Amino acid sequence: MSRKAGRMASEFSMTPAVSVIVVTYQWPAALDRVLSSLARQEDPPLEVIVADDGSGPETLDVVRSWQSLASFPLHHVWQADEGFRAAGARNRAVARASGDYLLFLDGDCLAFPDFIACHRMLAEPGWFLAGNRLLMNQALSARVLDGKVEPAGWNLSHWLGARFRGEVNRLLPLLRLGDANWRKRRARKWQGARSCNLGVWKDDFLQVNGFDESYQGWGHEDADLVVRLMARGCLRKDAHYAVPVLHLWHREHSRGLEPENVKRLEDALAGQRDPVAERGVSQYLDDGVEIDG
């Protein structure tokens, strides 16, 4: 751990055991880069669980290759490919998580080496952590996927050059600021909290029965989760300027079912839906969900 991250972590006495949940679907090259970034963490996780939404054998090959390389347990939880069902994939993974703190990361988002250390530093009972991301353009993403560049290790001059060339959309998320009261100024703001970079205590996640699997297709299941967490008294703490992730470019997912998901979210915001998901993580807690590794 870096001296700065270690100093910040010492300011908070509770050090959670972290389970990282990485959701993926049919993009093994991106997953390989994500797992590589997690293998280089200054403060390793208790475990990493790949939440697979129905990928083919190439994804399992990537997981198995990293199982022999990573310094932490790496598991693979798979569900059948029946369309975009990220909520179910994440719930299945959480059901097999051993940690008391869950870090959700998308399979197209690379972590900086201090990602887990800084999440641990900011973690606080009664609060979930909403991080942010930098978007890489198509050209830079291609070079990352080919293993030609490792932006997570760049110095300031590299980042300034990338911004000048339009390879990234912004630089402010790269700032590293410590814990402070301003991180709680948006305690009830659900907008912008995304499951591509989200930290939640497992007990709080279970209290709302995890992700709501009535959300099918792309969109808003993460907003729904944080709205329900807030309804049960777990509030937002900003992890901006501490734990950014690097988002690989890809074409947009189909949004054909988004209107139905928006309606569900609106009902949740209006208090017309129970904060506890009717179909969530509880259905897997006593089941024999298959894990490879």
Question: Over the stretch 58-95, which tens digit does the pLDDT of each residue have?
Answer: 999 999 999 999 999 999 999 999 888 999 999 999 99
Answer whether residue 121 shows pLDDT above 90.
yes
User: The domain that contains 224 carries what CATH number?
Assistant: 3.90.550.10
The confidence score (pLDDT) of residue 287 equals: 57
- So what's the pLDDT on residue 82? 86
User: Worst-scoring range by mean pLDDT, 129-133, 239-243, 268-272?
Assistant: 268-272
DSSP-assigned letter for residue 215 = -
| Cα–Cα distance for residue pair 16/116, rounded to 1 Å | 10
pLDDT for 230 beyond 70: yes
Q: Which residues contact 22 (CB under 8 A, 6 or more apart)?
A: 31, 34, 35, 38, 48, 49, 50, 51, 105, 106, 107
First to last CA, the chain: 27
Number of structural domains (the chain) is 1
Q: What is the pLDDT of residue 46?
A: 97
What average pLDDT score do residues 220-232 get? 91
Domain extent at residue 109: 3-292
Return mean pLDDT, the chain.
89
Look at residue 144 in the predicted model and tell me its pLDDT. 97
145 — pLDDT class (breaks 50, 70, 90): very high
pTM greater than 0.75? yes
